[in-house]
Chain A
Amino acid sequence: MWIRACSSLWMLGGFLLIIYLGHLYILAMVVVIQIFMASELFNLLRRAHEDKRLPGFRILNWHFYFTAMLFVYGRILSHQLVNTVTSDKIFYKLVSKLIKYQMVICYFLYIAGVMWFILTLKKKMYKYQFGQFAWTHMILIVVFTQSAFTVANIFEGIFWFLLPASLIAVNDVAAYFFGFFFGKTPLIKLSPKKTWEGFIGASVVTTISAFVLANVFGHFQWLTCPRKDLSTGWLLCDPGPLFKPEYYPLPGWLSRWVLPWKEVAILPVQWHALCLSLFASSIAPFGGFFASGFKRAFKIKDFGDSIPGHGGFTDRMDCQMVMAVFAYIYHQSFVVPQDYTVEMIINEILRSLTLEEQQILYTKLGQILQERMENSLHFFSLG
């Protein structure tokens, strides 16, 4: 247990430092973790014997990895990238061309990889090669889906990355401690060390800490402001209605006997945090069960051994992955007031028109709306 505690502390420390440094550094950290995870997983089902006869097969894996990287991060960061290089004329043109043809470039890289695969199919090794090909695709999908959503969360505001990640960490730690002290009834055959007592205790702790943590985190603009470009400086913004405290007066008896305060300040985001914690405590652990089942199926003890006492990166990230995806989808559907048609038209405007054309549109629309407002006022004043 001491080794685990030690490495946990180091990970926590490093993590906090990066959060302090900012969005771009967190992004870099996510990318590094991703590379290690992919590396672990690529190595997992490889059989050394066959591999000797297939030189260059490992490179193919990394070729697909690079293509996926270009594709996923190109889409997510296109908006931010454009905003960062607006100043320089030549760079702007280069970047917008890259973004415009991003899909084609990635497609051709992918097709090149597939053609390379087909041309290197060796008799008698077909089954192994196809198996590896499929395995590569599954790995890349798993790794990139969750990291794409993680990165998207980061740029919406570090809060939306930090809170879900902390909830999973809290859930894990609390489940461990509750299981350690009170664990009697096993939870699921797949993970014999998990117990119902640990599960329920952790759920309660997670819910409470979600409520509290959301309040604590919500006060820092560094965490709540979205990042619109790739700069690394300080952030100032209007955090929006979610992070403005609302005051609820406490019922009389509570303020007299238990707590010295007359009213409680609650950030509306804390209610959202409760939903996140519900998911983190009941559904995210299934990511861990999936990983356990997988390890049993293929008779592996750990995904890797990068982290002393914990196993590999994938062992640490299994529940985080499920949570990151949920956090993004939750954010998109319930937090951001999504005005579908307006968003779509804005996207079309940004995509199809040049900067000058956008400005022309803006002025014209402003004029038309102004006229309409004046007309309706005029109409009402007449009637």
Chain B
Amino acid sequence: MEKENNIALSSAGTSRVRQRKRSNEVIPEPSKPNGGTLLVDDRNKYKSMWIQTYSTVWMIGGFALVVYMGHLYITAMVVVIQIFMAKELFNLLRKGHEDEHLPGFRLLNWHFFFTAMLFVYGRLLSQPLVNSVTPEKFLYQFVSSLIKYQMAICYFLYIAGFMWFILTLKKNMYKYQFRQYAWTHMILIVVFTQSSFTVANIFKGIFWFLLPASLIVINDIFAYVVGFFFGRTPLIKLSPKKTWEGFIGASVTTMISAFVLANILGQFQWLTCPRKDLSTGWLQCDPGPLFKREYYTLPGWISQWFPWKEISILPVQWHALCLGLFASIIAPFGGFFASGFKRAFKIKDFGDSIPGHGGITDRMDCQMVMAVFAYIYHQSFIVREGISVEMILDQVLTKLTFEEQQTLLTKLGQILQDRLGHS
């Protein structure tokens, strides 16, 4: 039941990788039998360090490459990570004995996975998809009917799975089958919620995917490092290796790096421009007021010590501070949730795909919480640049046919009349 746990894997991977690189310290072994030891007191530190460093380096390299290649490739990476995560989780609470009596049950899981994929990505990518196929008439018709009937198609696929489930209920296995059914739903909800928000973030601009992910990474690393050197007071019973010193140190570092990173990342158009279609070429756009420098004159005493008279701050850096605050204080709860879950069901790790790190879900637990927050924050507080009458008029005139424009006019007229009629 990790509701908030599945967020962009690459970020998690990257963060862990950087962590290993920067810190050169031993990575804490996931859950030792004598679980209560703090890292400071841990003597057996250097054993798995090399394996972890190696896999971290590979993950970070792959991640950087994918970010360089662009939005579509990042989405593909998210999808791949999602499949692996779902696979890990599906296998988790399965009991081999019962499964022998139920052939085709695993297939049902993947059927629901496919339906969820169609539904979520259909909705997310419908606008970019439409934008990509406008020139050709036939394909456009095909794609728009697909989008129009998307809900009906997904619903019928789901109902088919539902009926299949009911028809394969076997006497004496009812409880197990219902449990698995509920578990499948929970997994799919967790995996797809966060991945859909991640993909939505990506298309708003890689910045909104990269920054939150990096913040989580930095938070993890510094919690580890500070805990390594100064950790004394345990933070929470669920995760005995975490300490208050690590937590606070990491919070401070995360906030500072949020401010700095936002400045650095905000300079690249490749990262800040939203992607309107499914192309892979270079991006050019007007980044909007958030990414335009504002100059603040420093007070006299500072400019005596430092050589600058004024500093330039991108307005987005203030937003980054809010993201940093969330990343340091609330996102770790994703990790606590995962720890509690593992204790509850007596599991050591979610899987073993990544050497030295455990499974993919282990890496993604905090990332998931963060991606959802980043999306919601963006929707609510980032004023969309330049949405104006001119822009929408432009859209109307270029995207719709003449008849559609007239339909729009009539509908809009009706709505406005309704509204005015009330006042």
Contacts and interface: CB of A to CB of B under 8 A. Distances in A.
Nearest to B127: A344
A84 B421 CA distance: 11
A290 interface: yes
A83 B380 CA distance: 22
B221 to A, nearest CB: 23
Secondary structure of the B side of the interface? helix
A20 interface: no
Contacts of A364: 389, 393
A65 B177 CA distance: 26
A101 B171 CA distance: 49
B136 interface: no
B90 to A, nearest CB: 15
Contact of B337 (A114, A322, A326, A359): A114
A63 to B, nearest CB: 15
A362 B330 contact: no
A326 B333 CA distance: 37
B152 A349 contact: no
B159 interface: yes
Interface in B368-389: 369, 372-373, 376-377, 379-381, 384, 387-389
B80 interface: no
A297 B180 CA distance: 12
A114 B345 contact: no
Contacts of A338: 148
Nearest to B411: A346
Contacts of B402: 369, 372
Given A87-B422, A87-B423, A329-B155, A111 B175 contact: no
B297 interface: no
A123 B339 CA distance: 13
Interface residues of A, number: 72
Contacts of A342: 400, 404, 407-408, 411
A216 interface: no
A306 interface: no
- Looking at A87, A121, A353, the one whose CB has the most chain B CB atoms below 10 A away is A121
A80 B148 CA distance: 24
Nearest to A190: B169
Contact of A118 (B171, B333, B400): B333
B419 A86 contact: yes
B344 A329 contact: no
- Looking at B169, B182, B185, B416, the one whose CB has the most chain A CB atoms below 10 A away is B169
Contacts of A349: 392, 412
Interface bracket on B: 35 or more
Interface string A334-368: 10001111101110111011010111111011101
B155 A293 contact: no
B422 A141 contact: no
B397 A368 contact: yes
B362 interface: no
Contacts of B389: 353, 357, 360-361, 364
B386 to A, nearest CB: 10
Nearest to B165: A290
B343 interface: yes
A29 interface: no
A114 B183 CA distance: 18
A356 B249 CA distance: 50
B336 interface: yes
Given A189-B171, A361-B392, A364-B393, A340 B147 contact: yes
Contacts of B189: 137, 141
A81 B162 CA distance: 35
Contacts of B416: 355, 358-359, 362
Contact of A369 (B238, B340, B406): B406
A345 B147 contact: no
B395 interface: yes
Nearest to A92: B423
B178 interface: yes
Contact of A341 (B185, B399, B406): B399
Nearest to A289: B166
A339 B148 CA distance: 8
B169 A298 contact: no
Interface string A281-296: 0010010011001101
B65 interface: no
Contacts of B333: 111, 114-115, 118
Contact of A345 (B4, B169, B387, B396): B396
Nearest to A332: B151
B344 A126 contact: yes
A212 interface: no
Nearest to B387: A352
Nearest to A297: B174
Interface in A82-141: 83-84, 86-87, 100-101, 103-104, 107, 111, 114-115, 118, 121, 123, 126-127, 129-130, 133-135, 137-138, 141
A290 B155 contact: no
B175 to A, nearest CB: 4
A333 interface: yes
Interface string B160-172: 0011001001010
A358 B182 CA distance: 46
Nearest to A364: B393
A190 B165 CA distance: 12
B20 to A, nearest CB: 28
B363 interface: no
A127 B151 contact: no
A294 B178 contact: yes
Contacts of B166: 190, 286, 289-290, 293
B54 interface: no
Nearest to B400: A341
Contacts of B100: none
B392 A348 contact: yes
Contact of B186 (A134, A340, A350, A357): A134
A362 B413 contact: yes
A315 interface: no
A138 B406 contact: no
B363 to A, nearest CB: 19
Contact of A130 (B1, B393, B409, B423): B1
Interface of B: 1, 3-4, 126-127, 130, 144, 147-149, 151-152, 155, 159, 162-163, 166, 169, 171, 174-175, 177-178, 182-183, 185-186, 189, 237-238, 330, 333, 336-337, 340-341, 343-345, 369, 372-373, 376-377, 379-381, 384, 387-389, 392-393, 395-397, 399-400, 402, 404-409, 411-413, 415-416, 418-419, 422-423
- The 5 closest A-B CB pairs, nearest first, are A126-B344, A297-B174, A333-B152, A86-B422, A352-B387
Interface of A: 83-84, 86-87, 100-101, 103-104, 107, 111, 114-115, 118, 121, 123, 126-127, 129-130, 133-135, 137-138, 141, 189-190, 228-229, 283, 286, 289-290, 293-294, 296-298, 322, 325-326, 329-330, 332-334, 338-342, 344-346, 348-350, 352-353, 355, 357-362, 364-366, 368-369, 372
Given A297-B175, A332-B152, 6 more contacts: A101-B380, A107-B372, A297-B178, A333-B148, A348-B392, A368-B393
14 contacts: A126-B343, A130-B341, A137-B186, A229-B422, A297-B174, A298-B178, A332-B151, A340-B144, A342-B407, A342-B408, A344-B127, A345-B395, A368-B393, A369-B402
